[in-house]
Amino acid sequence: MHEVAAVPAWVALAYLVAGVFFILALRGLSSPESSRRGNRFGMAGMTIAVATTLLTHEVVSLGEILIAIAIGGGIGFVIAKRIAMTAMPQLVAAFHSLVGMAAVLVGAAAYLNPQAFGIAGVDGIIHQVSRIEMGLGVAIGAITFSGSVIAFLKLNGNMSGKPIILPARHFINFGTLAAIIGLIAYFLTDQDPWVFWTVTALSFAIGFLLIIPIGGADMPVVVSMLNSYSGWAAAAMGFTLQNTAMIITGALVGSSGAILSYIMCRAMNRSFVSVIAGGFGGDAIAANNGPAIDRPYKRGSAEDAAFLMKQAEQVIIVPGYGMAVAQAQHALREMGDMLKEAGVTVKYAIHPVAGRMPGHMNVLLAEANVPYDEVYELEDINSEFARSDVAFVIGANDVTNPAAKTDKTSPIYGMPVLDVEKAKTVLFIKRSMGGAGYAGVENELFFRDNTMMLLADAKKMVEDIVKNLG
């Protein structure tokens, strides 16, 4: 076991302060109202951690490192300023991939030059504890990278959001994971290059294999899961580098991401293992994804919708990814304001997995300055639908599908959904009747007697409703 050099008291204190800032950042990010403050805490903590590390470690060229930080920070700043809110999920997936690749590169550098990292003796033999840390860090980092790349491609539309089911996928995945674990264990006795690089290659492969069978409906869980993986990869590399700040930060990100994934799986009435096994109903989606049946439905106009909502006592607005794609959140807030001026009670209902990442709808509504006290989660709003005159659904499909409660053959059966069908009238904005939800199933709500379909671009339809409310 390698000896850890004594850490000066001020360094330990600085890392402790950085860790406290990171905890405050996570606390702040738990609510849109405090998210800006949380981000500031996170930035402050990272500044302290980076500065402390640079001051306490010998570096080849401080100037080169500062230039690299400036380039990376500049790129991140420009991307963050230019990115559209609709592209935020794929941006998060892309950033997760960078964290994973960073862990792989650090692990590879430590393996190729272990003396420089203080993890080997003069004979070049890497300490056994360091081999475990290195093996786990590289494996988790590689899985995070390749899995995040696939998630990005699915979210960005470069790859189908439907599950891509490989034959014997469970056998292949289990065998690959077992091989990785076995090789990491063997790495303790033999640090031959073929062992290290085989672990790395298999880890890249399993990240790819784990994510391609997962359908679009599970993407919010995948994003939070990959976030957790990136944290654990950073923590493992923190042990290799003997850096307390990395260990603390990685553990916080890893544990919070794991908890969020668990919460979201509970919200979908699914186990974490079933999500990782691949596909939201995987085979069931393939079986149920036949040609759509031509069924009668009721079609309405912006004038009809404006009249119904103006006469209502309470309107519950249910946003989904369709709102994000159309960037209709600002027009939607304007519509809500006009309804409130007319004496209508307006509430917003958010499903935990609406959109393509955790909190996607909350972020968009906050961007449009929708009051936080008007936004409700599923468990707090579901009982209100039966007492509401109008449920206004804008681009939310799978999370409003009543089949999740009644049709045992449906891929989304068992997932808690918003009870919009219980409202007196359901106004449902959809671009057209063609196409199913991201989970690949048609919404039974479209054909209910109390549903009026508003077929148009979401932003244009809401703008037209606003004109008719004036």
Query: pLDDT tens for residues 1-36?
Result: 444 455 678 888 998 898 899 999 888 877 777 888
Residue 424 falls inside a structural domain: yes
Q: Count Cα atoms within 13 angstroms, Cβ side, for 206.
A: 27
Same domain, residue pair 137 and 242 = yes
How much is the pTM?
0.76
The answer to whether residue 283 is catalytic is no
Q: Which domain holds residue 361?
A: 302-469
Mean pLDDT across 194-200: 95
Residue 271 is classified by DSSP as: -
Give the list of residues 6+ apart from residue 309 with CB closer than 8 angstroms, or none. Answer: 315, 339, 344, 390, 392, 427, 465, 469
Same domain, residue pair 74 and 111 = no
Separation between Cα atoms, residue 412 and residue 401, nearest integer Å: 9
Domain boundary among 82, 100, 133: 82
Same domain, residue pair 213 and 318 = no
Q: What is the pLDDT of residues 198-252, one digit of tens each?
A: 999 999 999 888 888 876 666 777 888 888 888 898 888 888 888 888 888 889 8
CATH number of the domain that 440 lies in?
A: 3.40.50.1220
Same domain, residue pair 227 and 155 = yes
Helix, strand or coil, per DSSP, at residue 166:
coil
Residue 286 falls inside a structural domain: no
Residue 295 falls inside a structural domain: no
What are the start-end ranges of the E strands in 342-432?
345-350, 375-377, 390-394, 425-430
Separation between Cα atoms, residue 418 and residue 193, nearest integer Å: 54
Mean pLDDT across 417-437: 84
Mean pLDDT across 324-342: 91
Q: Name the more confident of 409 and 406.
A: 406
Residue 251 falls inside a structural domain: yes
* Alpha-helical runs (H) found in 311-357: 321-326, 329-341
Same domain, residue pair 364 and 381 = yes
Residue 436 falls inside a structural domain: yes
Active-site pick, 218, 398, 419, 464: 398
Dihedral sign, Cα of residue 374, residue 378, residue 379, residue 381: positive
Same domain, residue pair 42 and 129 = no
Same domain, residue pair 201 and 54 = no
Residue 410 falls inside a structural domain: yes
Mean pLDDT across 327-349: 93
Residue 293 falls inside a structural domain: no
Cβ-based burial of 371 (10 A; exposed 0-12, middle 13-18, buried ≥19): middle
Q: What is the pLDDT of residue 249?
A: 87
Q: What is the pLDDT of residue 438?
A: 57
425 bridge partner residues = 390
Domain boundary among 82, 97, 124: 82
Q: What is the pLDDT of residue 276?
A: 63
Residue 292 falls inside a structural domain: no
**Closest alpha carbon to 302 in 292, 294, 310:** 310
Same domain, residue pair 112 and 45 = no
